[in-house]
Amino acid sequence: MKNIRSIHAGNLPRLTPRLPDTHKGLLGHVLIIAGDLGMGGAGLLSAQAALRCGAGMVSLATREQHVSAALSRLPEVMTLAINSSAQLRPPLQRASVIVVGPGLGQTAWSRALLSTATQQSVPQVWDADALNLLAQGICNQPQQCILTPHPGEAARLLNIRTAQVQANRNNAALQIAERYNAVVVLKGHHSLIATPAGDLSCVERGHPVMAGAGFGDVLSGVIAALLAQGLPAYSASCLAVWLHACAGEHLARQGRGLAASDMCHTISTLLEEHSPCQA
């Protein structure tokens, strides 16, 4: 194993400043496949984060029952009612980055959409139930993939207990990266980012106020936005985890009850401080 790199502002990649004639078509199109019945908010959180972090276009493929709420909350997002894998194919063809998994569930609908997404060769971020289905052997992840497990999902991916993951997080992150040939973000206290080649970085930031529902969905959207704007998978993952953790620290003064949606504006502000939009 190579040395563990501690991530800080000085060794993080930066987005390239935008030229005056930049248009949305140059900034990527993120497609988020998310939100089975009863879990529609997860995809909205990912979409909001992707928008706030500068993706040129964002689409959300979700259950028909969630479309009205999505359009009301995020009119900038192209929200699509998807009832079958056939309906998913056109938006997949338009996407330059795909997020799969937030609130996806493990139903026949979920499995069909995930299986269809695996056929695309663009960069993908897999989270939540996409990881659970992967662990069950339902599908194989595509080549350009970032996996973002929390410790429980990591344990399922390795077929071990969560306590074993937590006892040696460095090894767990590297094992997942090697086994699935993917960049891995192992979330939790001092999140880790690992590559199949054995690179390992640690973000020693964050706050326990972030222990709540939806924070991982936001992180997936941030990673996707950075990918859409041209950062490689490992770089995008490191910068996204750092922004996410620092935003949590900034908002910690609010104490218990911080909502994941509160993070998006702060992450956007931190990203602008780190990588100004215009030079």
Distance in angstroms (rounded) separating the CA atoms of residues 130 and 33: 10
Which residues are paired to 202 by β-bridges? 6, 192
**Strand, coil or helix: 98:** strand
Residue type present at position 169: R
Binding residue per annotation — 189? Answer: yes
Distance in angstroms (rounded) separating the CA atoms of residues 61 and 113: 9
Binding residue per annotation — 103? Answer: yes
Two tokens, residue 264: 């998006």
Binding residue per annotation — 21? Answer: no
Binding residue per annotation — 217? Answer: yes
SS in 3 state form for 194-254? Answer: ECCCCCEEECCCCCHHHCCCCHHHHHHHHHHHHHHCCCCHHHHHHHHHHHHHHHHHHHHHH
- The CA-based angle 49-165-44, given to 5 degrees, is 15
**Strand, coil or helix: 4:** strand
Binding residue per annotation — 152? Answer: no
| Residue spans of alpha helices (H) in the chain | 40-52, 67-73, 85-94, 108-117, 129-135, 151-158, 162-167, 169-180, 215-228, 233-251, 263-274
Binding residue per annotation — 191? Answer: yes
Question: Taking phi first (over 0 means left), then psi (-120 to 50 degrees means alpha), and beta for anything else, what does residue 252 get?
Answer: alpha
Distance in angstroms (rounded) separating the CA atoms of residues 250 and 69: 29
Binding residue per annotation — 54? Answer: no
Binding residue per annotation — 255? Answer: no
Binding annotation for (6S)-NADPHX: 42, 103, 150, 217
Binding annotation: 42, 103, 150, 187-191, 216-217
Binding annotation for AMP: 187-191, 216
